[in-house]
Structure 1
Amino acid sequence: MLDTEQSRPQIPTSSGAPSKEGRQRKVIHVDMDAFYASVEQRDNPDLRGKPIAVGGSRERGVVAAASYEARRFGVHSAMPSVTAKRLCADLVFVKPRFEVYKEISLQIRAIFAEYTPLIEPLSLDEAYLDVTENLRGIEYATQIAKEIRARIWDETRLTASAGISPNKFLSKMASDQNKPNGQFVITPEMAPAFVEGLRVGKFHGIGKKTEEKMNRLGIFKGLDLKAASMEFLHQHFGKAGSYYYWISRGIDERPVRPDRIRKSVGAENTFESDLSSYGEMKKALAPIIDKVWNYCLRADLRGRTVTLKVKFSSDNRN
């Protein structure tokens, strides 16, 4: 992975920065429901209602996306395919069609652009929208979210969920509340109680390992995190401590940035069998390097750190 020369995200310092006119911000997080899997079920009627996983079915394959039918068995993205198959014997694997997903993603972003120019894509299937000053003059963000979700359905026959709040952190949390095909609002008045009752592992930006570390420190919910001092969080989590301190209070001033610059570029591959010699590894690494470098050339990016990640199989660690 290549880390590009970009600054760190702004640390949040208030519940939601007001607009230039002093109005409360209105931020929507739109998240497509099981996007890749839903596209495959849409395009192939035989897959509808069945547990499917988009990804490789081979021994070293990985699940890129899982349908809601598969999720009921515990199957989720980034899970090894062998584990997914063990959890759901009837799981159907479908080869990814990323060009199709990209095309649909562009359709969806075109819909967003009819409401606001302030669109910050996070991936092909989700984005933040600042609709404080929207192009249609609609007063309520909830109405905008409802219209956008209806437009997405009409034009793609895919469902989306949305979260509405005064800032990015809360809207991201809100979009998970009524999935699939729903929306949820967190008002400034609701924010403190909502965050305090949330398990820290549900916080955007807190992964499994960080959650485990917090649990060891006696931090299990937002209320526990809020009780921790800035000094304590810096001591145990470094610079990220400031982020945790503020989001535990529902505070996030980060703007929705349509020009958000990618901070890293990466490529990887999973091989059918172990590469045991230097020559094999060098040969396999060359196209991966080319892929990253060519992207940097096209995007006019320059890096400062190169990271090589190597994963060994459990029976070959010497």
Structure 2
Amino acid sequence: MAVFNHALFPGEYLAEKFPSLRFLPSWFPGAKFKRKSKVWVSAVHRLRDVPWERTVAKIRGGTAIPSIATSLMKDVPDVKSGEVTEEEVAAKKVTATAYAAGADTTLSTMQSFFLAMASNPDAQRKAQAELDAVVGRQRLPTFADRESLPYVCALISECLRWRPVAPLGFPHRSTEDDCFRGYFIPKGTVTIANVWAYSRDTRYYPDPEAFSPERFLKDGKPNPDVLDPAAFVFGYGRRICPGRHFADASLFMLTATVLHTLTISAPLDAHGHPVKLEGKMTAGVISYPEPFEADIKSRGSWAEALVRESCSAVNV
């Protein structure tokens, strides 16, 4: 994923502008990208092969837990024969792509969530109060609770807006000549959407630097008049993120479960006051909060019991 974040940064290499440079030998000055690519290919192949081989071994041993990989392997013939079929190759690439596309993007938003909770204890308390009232302390949140948790959902939307995962989106190329607000855009032009600017548009988000889930609510219910960050953080058009629904579901379960069972706070300074977290973000196609410290504690023995019980249920 570090390779992806570095290699796909727009304008990083001249070969993007002058494709003929790809024919240069790797030792030639200016062909550093070719020397790096040999290392990159090895890393990407490990991402594809190592987890898959471990999963296949568990499937053959009867110890695999349900996953995308196990679902795809059900349709692969001769799973136990040791032969690599065309179906297995396709399944391996599908799972690697799904992981690569979703793992770090979801991780980035979750890191921003922890940063937001450590920096905004009032928002955290409101979300936890809603979870206590709706879910109670006898079980963990489920998807069935989602419609009854508007504040938690608003908090997730604010995480997506407050620190967008891909602040410059992904490059698109115009397929035809176009004109937009007086600007002529020739066919073949590479266009980059400024997602960061969308997330700071004061027409929709007053005081955009503030973390405020309330901006997405009206009378305690979702406010349809406020632009949903999901409309731009997952891209758009034919290249919109195909895993956006999976990401949305994952973020709900992760944030709801963490909020229900844990308390996140900023560390204290020498005088016992919470440290102000800077909240700076890294550069790259995918942006992450820079490393920060936070205190994470269980909300009680009941929370620990629920987490341990859920882990036991899936044999991990």
TM-score of the superposition, structure 1-length normalised? 0.23
Q: Which has the larger radius of gyration?
A: 2
Q: Which has the higher contact order (CA 8 A, sep 6+)?
A: 1
Greater strand fraction, Structure 1 or Structure 2: 1
Higher helix share: 2
